[in-house]
């Protein structure tokens, strides 16, 4: 690793602890609202009442979160929780399932564990809110917001144009669809290249719908190296070696990521006038975490802090299971999801630097 990167990340590690557990200073946020679309990486409780295995509203999930087990799929804050704090919000963005009235003016989290770009993705786990449904839910929110602007569409659009939108989709379309041939036929219906193209066609339509509903400042994240998560290591890595990541999966998602990057460039180059889309390179950020774990303070990168079986990766945390003692040493909380520290590191780095964001960082996006 180069010395410049060491200096940058040493600074990030120091600043991580300056992000408080709960906002205490009264100040105006940098943007008026924050809307979130995604899967379990950023779900904060939308799945709590669903008939699904993709739920996290029980301990030890939330063991380090002030409100306890809220439905977040980690020990503490998610990436968007940390990002909301960096943007100056005094409270975490609430889940759609329990947010109505004036509270929607601050923003809403529509994310749902097991959700994907395709509607059938995640059906193997039970109920979920797909990206199509999340976009529809945002449409309902916009309808509700109109009454606070007395039906003035220009005023509402002006308000929404200042807000930050985040969309993180695609992981489950591979984990809980394409690479699950016993439940889905997509891997026999499509080559990896063709499947990426189909996903991007659907995702382009969904992101365009968000634009038509008022989104102008949008963060879209690529898929991380899911071939190296504990779940995959438990299935493919008998020696617990990072060198035995499932590169077939990593290569498939790289096709999706490269296509997504080009798609967002086309949006920025005039396809969606007046909008700015920021690509968040989750693949590169997770690769850096793997390769330079000790620099970030991680000692365990191939096992979940909590879980069952090899690498604690065969299933997620069981209710009331005892997790590892020092969560700061673990990159992964369970078989699929990063720990709070990993989420904070990513939030801080994407907020102030250009290491993982293109063409600008999130602070610059907020200032537009």
Q: Which two tokens stand for residue 76?
A: 């503490």
276: part of which helix (H) or strand (E)? Answer: strand 276-280
DSSP annotation of 44: B
Is residue 167 annotated as part of the catalytic site, yes or no? no
Is residue 40 annotated as part of the catalytic site, yes or no? yes
Spatial distance between the Cα atoms of 271 and 260, rounded to a whole number of angstroms? 14
* Extended strands (E) in 170-275: 217-221
Using alpha carbons, select from 213, 203, 111, 206 the residue that is nearest to residue 160: 213
Spatial distance between the Cα atoms of 108 and 130, rounded to a whole number of angstroms? 16
Task: Report the number of secondary-structure helices (H) and strands (E) in the chain.
Answer: 12, 7
Question: Helical H runs in 117-185?
Answer: 131-145, 153-161, 171-173
- How many other C-beta atoms can be found within 10 angstroms of the C-beta atom of residue 296? 19
CB 45 within 8 A of CB 71: yes
Is residue 189 annotated as part of the catalytic site, yes or no? no
Spatial distance between the Cα atoms of 347 and 350, rounded to a whole number of angstroms? 5
Catalytically annotated residue among 39, 40, 171, 302? 40
Q: Which residues are catalytic?
A: 40, 334, 337
């Amino acid at each position: 690793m180069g010395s410049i990167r060491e200096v940058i990340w040493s600074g990030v590690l120091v600043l991580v602890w300056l992000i408080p557990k709960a906002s205490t200073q009264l100040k105006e946020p940098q943007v008026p609202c924050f809307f979130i679309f995604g899967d379990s990486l950023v779900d904060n409780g939308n799945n709590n009442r669903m008939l699904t295995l993709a739920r996290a509203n029980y301990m030890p999930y939330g063991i380090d979160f002030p409100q306890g087990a809220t439905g977040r799929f980690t020990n503490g804050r998610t990436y968007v929780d940390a990002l909301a704090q960096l943007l100056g919000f005094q409270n975490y963005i609430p889940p759609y399932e329990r947010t109505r009235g004036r509270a929607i003016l601050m923003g809403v989290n529509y994310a749902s564990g097991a959700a994907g770009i395709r509607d059938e993705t995640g059906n193997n786990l039970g109920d979920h809110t797909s990206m199509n449904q999340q976009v529809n839910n945002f449409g309902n929110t916009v309808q509700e917001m109109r009454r606070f602007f007395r039906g003035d569409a220009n005023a509402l659009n002006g308000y929404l144009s200042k807000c930050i939108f985040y969309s993180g989709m695609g992981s489950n379309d591979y984990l809980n669809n394409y690479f699950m041939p016993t439940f889905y036929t997509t891997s026999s219906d499509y080559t990896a290249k063709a499947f990426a193209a189909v996903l991007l066609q659907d995702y382009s339509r969904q992101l365009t719908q968000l634009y038509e509903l008022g989104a102008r400042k949008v963060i879209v994240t690529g898929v991380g190296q899911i071939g190296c998560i504990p779940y995959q290591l438990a299935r493919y890595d008998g020696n617990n070696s990072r060198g035995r990541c499932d590169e077939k999966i990593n290569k498939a998602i790289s096709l999706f990521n490269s296509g997504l990057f080009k798609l967002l460039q086309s949006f920025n180059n005039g396809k969606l006038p007046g909008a700015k889309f920021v690509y968040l390179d989750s693949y590169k950020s997770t690769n850096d975490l793997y390769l330079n774990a000790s620099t970030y303070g991680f000692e365990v990168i191939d096992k979940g802090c909590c879980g069952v079986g090899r690498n604690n990766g065969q299933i997620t945390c069981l209710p009331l299971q005892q997790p590892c003692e020092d969560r700061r040493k673990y990159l992964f909380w369970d078989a699929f999801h990063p720990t709070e520290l990993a989420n904070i590191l990513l939030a801080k780095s994407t907020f102030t630097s250009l290491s993982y964001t293109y063409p600008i960082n999130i602070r610059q996006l907020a200032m537009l």
